[in-house]
Structures are given as structure tokens and as C-alpha cells.
Chains A and B, each alone.
Chain A
């Protein structure tokens, strides 16, 4: 259970994944491309972090997985957000807003 050393990044990935899944069930690839597309390629999700994170969040009960046929007709693992995941998302959003506000103020004033 190695925890990432950079908690902010780790937390941010959770936030991005949960936010994406709020739109509906999606597989890993879909999540990665969605984040990249929406952020105008500014954010790039590493597969090496994405999948362990998905599995961890599944264990934590924030997301649920289900095997379904994908748009190409192949079986794929679709993730969807759970109730506790939504609660977590709210928490993560708040945390991020606070952090962003704090960093923003620091950049303006310091």
C-alpha cells in the first residue's frame, strides 16, 4: 500500500477522476482521454498512476466497476461513481478550491 509521496497530486487525480465519472460510467481509457480533452491537453494522465488509483478508489468504495461492452463492442471495465464517492468529490472540490485560492493569493501578494 505504497502511498504517493505527493499528496496534492494524488488527491488531484482522485478529484479529476471523480469529477469525470460524475457525468456517467466510463472506462479507464475514456477517463484519461476525457481529462485530456476537457483540459485542452493541459493535463496528461499517466496510465501508471491512473489504474492503481482507480483500483484503490474502487477498494475505498468511492467508485464501482462493471464489465460491459464498450463502444467498439469489446468487453471493458466501466467505472461509475458511488454515493460515498460523490461525498468524497465534494470534499476534494472544496479542498482544491481552498488550495487554489490560497496559492492564488500567495502569488498575488507575496
Chain B
């Protein structure tokens, strides 16, 4: 209705000419009728006409009012406003540049962070009808085996299609960099309704054929857009695959925001889909129209309980509940919660940066309006209405905001590319991540630009459009001396707010930096400084168990013979990131899931894990375990755990506790002491194990030799994963470090913006008070008192801001206490450091204004007045 109304008025304004004529005839008709009536009542034609005119009143005014009603007057005035705004902006290039830059920085920071949030958390899967796609998986996150997948697929009453996929590094041709691939089941492309760019895609029933589909980017990059690629044989991981088709760039794969370069069938692994040791990382399905995830889950649950009864886990482990979940981006992954918390924090911090930037622009605008005071006063006295003036101010601000938004978007794009390239390997896995610049991000940026108009434009516009503040009388002299308290108070409040907000941002950054620092020195429960690790993966070697045992024995011996090696050990885990668990029954407690590690007899010495009580495993010892202090305390409080027994499997042998090891970190550096148990190998023939080497010289110097030794035992095995334990830990810390770095950048940005604000205010203050200072100096005020005056101003401002910021920080940092470990949410060191940095930087920003104040020459100033 309203829109229609506007449209009508718009149309009217374009038909102005005709309208004018019509309005005239309408009113003339009225006059004529009245004249006729008057004549009928008697009287001369002239008199009748003049009576009619008199009765009508002002014809012009009525026409004017009718016109106002008909035409959208603001079209005309808006055009005027915009033209005027352009002129005002061009007239003050310095001001414009500063304001646009401030806004652009604020908007760019927000847009960049949001584009990643969008990519990781918000963007739906890049397929048709993403809302129909659900993820089928177990509560614990363990991958589905191929056998399970095949079972699920046959019983799909609720699914229109099901597909499994796993990320896999694929090497195309010998000696080239690996690309990100997905090992997919044959139903993959059909389920996700992907159309090829050329050729055809892998189709149901082709699980056993060595087929590959390549992405458009890889096709252009590596195959020079070869039009004859389809049907050609290429080598992937040293196996021969036939390329069937090319997928367009619009489908970056199901691992989004990572972009997949290549899709291959399960034949990439020996035994293909029948391989017992392989699974599918993710199983996704498309719901039939009308079905929902809850129905699907119910249907799958009954299917699964039957399946589990028929196929119990060989090790007696309990499988997690089968869940069917929606698929919003990473929502299916357990990391979503953690990512969402980090994203929320980052968004909050960039919002602070944005607020500081807007306050800066508000300050700049006020300074600008102060300069233009005379013009404003004249316009007001010429009869411009206040609302018209406010509208015009806001038009100017909107123009600045849109410019800032445009520049900010460009900046965010490059910052996004830069950040995507810099993502630590633990997040990017070494493959390209697409940051999510799409319509959502652009809409967000546009919205932000409009918010910035409100944040920085409204206050100054209201303040400076007031008649009494810009009396014509003031206009002449008012360029310098403000009316009392004007607009200094407002700007002071703004500056204090800016300082406070940037203190808040800095405290957040500081807490993260401290938390990372603390993590570096955290006691891991073992001595990483002298340990080398290598991940040995025999899955692709197709060795029988005896051959594997032989391999491990040879490997241990050869490594142990190397000069500089003190001790060698094999274990199924490395302390951090350990996810293995055992169901344990012991003491009076109900069966409990305990994190565990399977190790050999040399493990504790190699890792430097001290045994608090008891002894080490003996070689080839069975049915013995070593527990950590936390577990001993949990199961046998106030008793000696040594000699106690636990049960791992119903009916299995009881395991005797032979030693108690000190607590360590098993999952992450922030761990509280958790129960943990070590058990000896039954036989050392697992498919993959960690080789741990304790060295006499610094372990880094031994990497090459250990790698060489591994190669000698088996030349085909990749030796590249030999790393020092410290490296491994650093890798683990990488996301936290990256977060701390990003937050530091944002905090510094906020600081810089706030300082600009403080500097601007002081500079203006000094400029405004030049005559006053000149008089003081003329009357004998010392330099010191002039400098003192300026510093007192800035000191008060900074102190107020810092106090407010610290108060705000102590009130809010608790909210993300879960993201930082090792430091309290109100860490005194951080608070003091931030306050000091802010004060010092703030005082530094005062130096130039103070210097200017001292340089004031009374004679010159007074003559100018």
C-alpha cells in the first residue's frame, strides 16, 4: 500500500507539466461555478467573479499545497542533497579521506571475519536443495565402515539417495604436490545432483572401477583445460585411474569451505569398498520429499540395532548412537561448537573495532560541522528547516559510509585471500580454503554501512542543526571559540568511549596471547624436548600381521642402533589429541569410558614419564596396566592402587595395576587431570603406530637419520612424517596462536583508531583554545603550565577511558573463559599491561598537540583576532 503510494507520487512528479495544467483547470472550474452561482443570485459578472475569487482565498497557496500533496517533494530535495553532499565531500578531501579510511577499516575488519564465519558456519552445502541433505553418523563421530554404509544404503525408505565421502590427499602424477581429494561412493554425484561441466560423472554401480572426476580449477591448472581429458588414464597415488568428467567450479566439493580438486572411487585403497580397515568419514543422504531428519533417525535406529546385534565390535567397544542431523555447513562436526564460540568472540571484537571507527568518524564530522558552522547558521537563518538540515547531514554521512563500505569490501577481499593463504596447517590441512565472499557477506557489509550512518551521523547532525547553537551572531566569531561546553563535551565522551572500547579489545587479545604463552610452558607430563616422533602407516602395504610385526621389530632395532639414540618405543598414540578409550570396570564404580594408550615396555623411559609408584611394564608382559594418578584417585580413593585389578571385557582376564604414572595432558593443553590408563601390546602388529625416539643430541638434528633408517627398512613407506615432539605440540597450538595473532591485530587496530580519535580531539581543542592560550601566555603563563594543560586534558580522558574499559573487561571476559586456558578471565598481568600500553600510547598521541600549544605566539594570534 505504502509502496504503491510512493510510486504514484513518483509518477506524479514525472508528469509535473500535465499535472500543473490539470490542477489549474480544476481550480478554475471551481471559480467558474462559484461565479455562475453568484450571478444567479444577482450582480454584475465582474462582481460575481471577484466575490468568487475573494471567497477562494489565495489561489497560489492552494495550488502550492495541492502540488505538495501530489508530488513527492523529497525527490527534488534528495537530488539536491546528494549533489550538495558530493560538493561538500569534494571540498574537504582530507576530511573525506580520513573518514572513509576509518569506516573502511572498521567495515573491512567486520567483513573479513564475517566472510570466514560465513564460509565455516553459515553457508549451506553447495548443492541443490541443501536443506534436504542430512548427515548420517554416530554420536561419537567414529566413521562408518563400508559394510555399515552398504547396509544403510539398502534400507533407505526415507532417503532418496545416500553417499559417503572421505578427504584424502591425492598425488596426481609422480613428484607433484598433493591435491585435496574425496574418496567417494558411486552414488555421490547422483545424490547431490551435480551436473558435469564435460564428460560424465561417476555413477551408481561403479564402486569397483578406478574412476576419477576432476574439478574445473585443477583441470585448467594442471591439464591446461585439455578438452580431451575425459577417457584418459592418469596416475593417482601411483595407481592408474580413468578420468570420466570435469565438475564445474560452482561445486567445490562436500568438504566446503575447503575446495576439492578431485574425486575418486574407493579403488584408490586396496580391496576398495570391501577393505576392512577403511571407513567413510562422512555419510550423507538426501531425504525424500516430505521426510524429515527425525523420521529418518527413527528408521535408521531400528536398522542399526539389528545390525549391531549381528556384527558386534571385535574389541567389544560400544558404538555410538546413530544420528541423522541437518547439514548446515560444519554443523555435523563436533568442532562446530568450538568454532561457533570462537566466531562469536571474533565478531564481538570486530564489532568493537567498528564502534571505535564510527566514533572517530562522528568526531571528524563534528569537527567538520564546526568549521561549517557559519554556513549552517546562514542556512538556518534563511529558513531552512531543522529536519531538512539533518537530512542533508545524513545524506553526506551516507555518502561517506557507502564509500567506506566499497573501499572496505575491497580491503576485506584481499585480507580474506591473505588470511585464507595464511591459515595454519591444522585448520587448512595444507589445502586451499575458500573464504565466503557471497551475497550474504555483501548484504552484511551494506547493512553495516547503514548502521555506520546511524552510529556516526545522527548525533552530530542533531547537535549541529540546533538553532541556538549556531546563532548568526556567533557565526562570525564562532569559527574558533565555541559556545561554552560545545561540542567539546560530546567529543570527550566519544573519546573516552573509544579508549574504553579499545582497552576492551586489547584485554581480549592480551588474554589470548597470555594463554598461548602459558600453554608453551605447560607441564605435559612428559619431556617433549628430547623426543622424535614418526607416524608409521602400513595400511597401504597389505602386509599380513606377522610381516608387520617383523617390520616393527626390524625398525626398532635399526633405530636403536643409530648413534645418539637412547631409547626407542612404539605406541598407538601420541599424548596430545588422543581419542582412544576403553570401557573399564573397577573398584565399586559402574563401567566407565577411560582414555587409554597401548604402549610397549620402553614407553615411559622414552617419553620421560615418571612413575610415581610401582614399576614399568616388563617385556612381553600381559594383563598388567599402568594408571595415572587421577585414575588411581578416582577408582581407589585413599587406597593403594598397586595390585588392584580392573576388567576390560566381560569374561576377559583381570588386569593388574603394576604402576602409577604422573598425570599429563592427553587430549588438549587445557585438560584438567583426567583418568588415563596404559596397557601393553598383545602383539606389536597394528596397521599404524607411533615410533617414539629419545635422543641424546637435540632431536631436530636426528630427523634425517631416523627418516633414512625408516626408508631402509621399507623403501616404499613415506618417511616425511618424522617430527620432533615439540613440533607436534606447536602444531597443536597453532589454531590458538593464530587466534591470538588475529585478536592482537584487531586490538591494535582498535588502539590505533582510538588514538586517532584522542589526537583529533586534542588537536581541535588546542586549535579552539588558541586565543585563550595566547592571552594566558601574554599574561605570563609558563610553557610548562601550557603543556600541563594539554596533558591534563588527555590524561583525564585516557584515565577515564582505561578505567571504564577495564571495568567493562572484567565484566565481560568471563563470557569466553572457556576459550582461554591457564589464565583467569581477569588476569591482572594482562589488565595492567593493557592499561600501561593505552596510557603510554595516549600520552604519545598528545605530544604533537602539546607542542603546537607551546608554539603559540601571543602577538601573532592577538593581531589576527
Which residues of A line the B interface, CB within 8 A?
1-2, 27-29, 32-33, 46-48, 51-52, 55-56, 58-61, 67, 70, 72, 74-77, 84
Contacts and interface: CB of A to CB of B under 8 A. Distances in A.
In this complex, the member of B9, B30, B37 whose beta carbon has the largest number of chain A beta carbons within 10 angstroms is B30
A66 to B, nearest CB: 12
A48 B61 contact: yes
Interface string B58-77: 10011001101110010000
B390 to A, nearest CB: 16
A48 B62 contact: yes
A51 B29 contact: no
B57 A28 contact: no
A29 B30 contact: yes
Nearest to B27: A51
Contacts of B288: none
B41 interface: no
Contacts of A2: 65, 68
A77 B26 contact: yes
Give the one of B27, B32, B58, B69 with max A CB within 10 A: B69
26 contacts: A2-B65, A2-B68, A27-B26, A27-B29, A28-B26, A47-B55, A47-B56, A47-B57, A48-B56, A48-B61, A48-B65, A51-B26, A51-B30, A52-B65, A52-B69, A55-B66, A55-B69, A59-B8, A59-B69, A60-B5, A61-B4, A74-B29, A75-B25, A76-B26, A77-B25, A77-B26
B417 to A, nearest CB: 49
Given A1-B73, A47-B62, A48-B56, A28 B1 contact: no
Contacts, number: 72
A29 B5 contact: no
Given A52-B66, A55-B66, A61 B5 contact: yes
A54 to B, nearest CB: 8
Interface in B1-60: 1, 4-5, 8-9, 12, 22, 25-27, 29-30, 32-34, 36-37, 55-58
A59 B9 contact: yes
Contacts of B57: 46-48
A28 B58 contact: no
A47 B65 contact: no
A56 B8 CA distance: 12
A77 B33 CA distance: 13
B513 to A, nearest CB: 57
A76 B557 CA distance: 112
A52 B62 contact: yes
Interface of B: 1, 4-5, 8-9, 12, 22, 25-27, 29-30, 32-34, 36-37, 55-58, 61-62, 65-66, 68-70, 73
A70 B29 CA distance: 10
Q: Is the interface of B mostly helix, strand, loop or mixed?
A: helix
Contact of B68 (A1, A27, A29, A84): A1
Contacts of A56: 69
A52 to B, nearest CB: 4
Nearest to B61: A48
| 10 nearest A-B residue pairs (beta carbon) | A52-B65, A55-B69, A29-B33, A48-B57, A56-B69, A55-B66, A77-B26, A47-B56, A29-B30, A76-B29
Contacts of B12: 59
Contacts of A51: 26-27, 30, 62, 65-66
A29 B56 contact: no
A48 to B, nearest CB: 4
Contacts of B27: 47, 51
A23 to B, nearest CB: 18
B54 to A, nearest CB: 11
A58 B23 CA distance: 13
A11 to B, nearest CB: 16
A64 to B, nearest CB: 11
A1 B363 CA distance: 33
A47 B30 contact: yes
Contacts of A76: 26, 29
Nearest to B8: A59
Contacts of B34: 29
A47 B30 CA distance: 9
Nearest to A84: B1
A56 B65 CA distance: 9
Contacts of A60: 5
A83 to B, nearest CB: 12
Contacts of A28: 26, 29-30
A58 B12 CA distance: 12
B387 to A, nearest CB: 11
Contacts of A47: 27, 30, 55-57, 62
A45 B26 CA distance: 17
A60 B5 CA distance: 7
B530 to A, nearest CB: 83
A69 to B, nearest CB: 11
A100 to B, nearest CB: 28
Contacts of A70: 29
A18 to B, nearest CB: 16
B5 A77 contact: no
Given A27-B29, A46-B57, A51-B65, 5 more contacts: A51-B26, A51-B66, A52-B65, A72-B33, A75-B29
Contact of B1 (A46, A58, A61, A75): A61
A33 to B, nearest CB: 8
A77 B29 contact: yes
Contacts of A72: 33, 36
Interface centre among B26, B56, B61, B62 (most CB of A within 10 A): B26
A74 B467 CA distance: 51
Contacts of A59: 5, 8-9, 12, 69-70
A28 B25 CA distance: 12
Contacts of A1: 68-69, 73
B32 A74 contact: yes
Contacts of A27: 26, 29-30
Nearest to B69: A55
Nearest to A48: B57
Contacts of B25: 75, 77
Contacts of B62: 47-48, 51-52
A56 B72 CA distance: 12
A75 B57 CA distance: 23
B58 A29 contact: no
Given A48-B61, A51-B66, A77 B32 contact: no
A86 to B, nearest CB: 15
Nearest to A30: B33
Nearest to B67: A55
A88 to B, nearest CB: 12
Nearest to A60: B5
A70 B30 CA distance: 11
A4 to B, nearest CB: 10
Nearest to A53: B69
A82 B30 CA distance: 23
Contacts of B33: 29, 72
A57 B9 CA distance: 12
Contacts of B1: 61, 84
